[in-house]
Structure 1
Amino acid sequence: MVDWKSADVVQASAVTGVHIIHLLSGVYFYDFIANLGFDYDFIAQKRKFKWPLIFYFANRYFMLGFYIVANHRVNCRLIYVFLKVFADFSRAFASISFALRTIAVWARNPFIIAALCLMILAQWAIIISTGIWVLKIDWISGVGCVPGADNTWFWLTMIFVYSMCFDFTVLVLNAYKLRPPFFRTSGMRSSLVSLVFHQGLVFYIISLTGDLIAIVFLALNLNAALDSVFATPSELISTLVACRAVRTLTNVNDESGNDATQVFFVQASPTPTDLPN
Structure 2
Amino acid sequence: MVDWNDPDLEAKLGVLLEQLLYAILGLYGWEYIRSSHVEIALIRRQLPFRWPLLSYITARLSFLIVTILHATQSSPFYTNVDCPSMNFVILFWTNIAIGCSTTNLMIRTWLIWKTSYLLRLLLVLLSLGHWTLLTLCAALVLYGTHVAFMNTGYVMMSTSGVAMSYDLALLIFTIIGLLRMPSSSALWKTLVKQGVIYFVLNFLANLILLVLNRLNLNPIMNVIFGMPARLHLTEWSSRFSALRPIVKGLSCFSS
Structure 1 stretches lacking a partner, 5+ long: 138-148, 258-277
Determine the C-alpha separation between the residues in 2 that align with 1:153 and 1:25: 29
Q: CA deviation at 1:157?
A: 5.7
**2: distance between equivalents of 1:28 and 1:20?**
12
Do the aligned partners of 1:17 and 1:230 also contact (CA within 8 Å) in 2?
no
Q: Is the 8 A contact 1:178 1:193 kept in 2?
A: yes
1:211 pairs with 2:211? no
SS where residue 158 of structure 2 aligns? helix
Over 3 Å counting, the alpha-carbon distance change for 1:135 and 1:5 in structure 2 is: farther
Aligned to 1:29: 29
2:253 counterpart of 1:250: no
Instruction: State the partner residue of 2:181.
Output: 183
Which position in structure 2 is the counterpart of 1:39?
A: 39
Corresponding residue number in structure 2 for 1:122: 129
Deviations 1:141-192 (A, max 9, x none): xxxxxxxx9x47879961111111111111111111111xx22365xxx222
Q: 1:223 to 1:116 in 2, by over 3 A?
A: same
Closer, same or farther: CA 50–64 of 1 in aligned 2, 3 Å: same
Percentage of identical aligned residues: 22
Larger of the two Rg values belongs to structure: 1
Match of 1:231 in 2: 226
Residue by residue over 1:37-69, the C-alpha shift from the partner in whole angstroms, topping out at 9 and shown as x without a partner, is 232112222222111211111111111111221
Provide the TM-score with structure 1 as the length reference. Answer: 0.75
Indicate how the Cα distance of structure 1 residues 255 and 118 shifts in structure 2: closer, same or farther if over 3 A, else same. closer
User: Offset of 1:27 from its aligned partner?
Assistant: 2.6
The whole-number CA distance in structure 1 between the counterparts of 2:100 and 2:216 is 28
CA contact (8 A) 1:153 1:224 kept: no
Give 1:254 shift.
Answer: 4.2
Question: CA, structure 1 residues 256+26, in 2 after alignment: closer, same or farther (shift >3 Å)?
Answer: closer
Where 1:178 maps in the other structure, the secondary structure is helix
Instruction: Flag structure 2 segments of 5+ consecutive residues without an equivalent.
Output: 151-155
Aligned to 1:198: 193
1:255 deviates by 6.3
Inter-partner Cα distance in structure 2 for 1:240 and 1:194: 19
Query: Offset at 1:5?
Result: 2.8
TM-score by length of 2: 0.81
1:113 and 2:111 equivalent?
A: no
| Higher mean C-alpha displacement, 111-120 vs 82-91 | 111-120
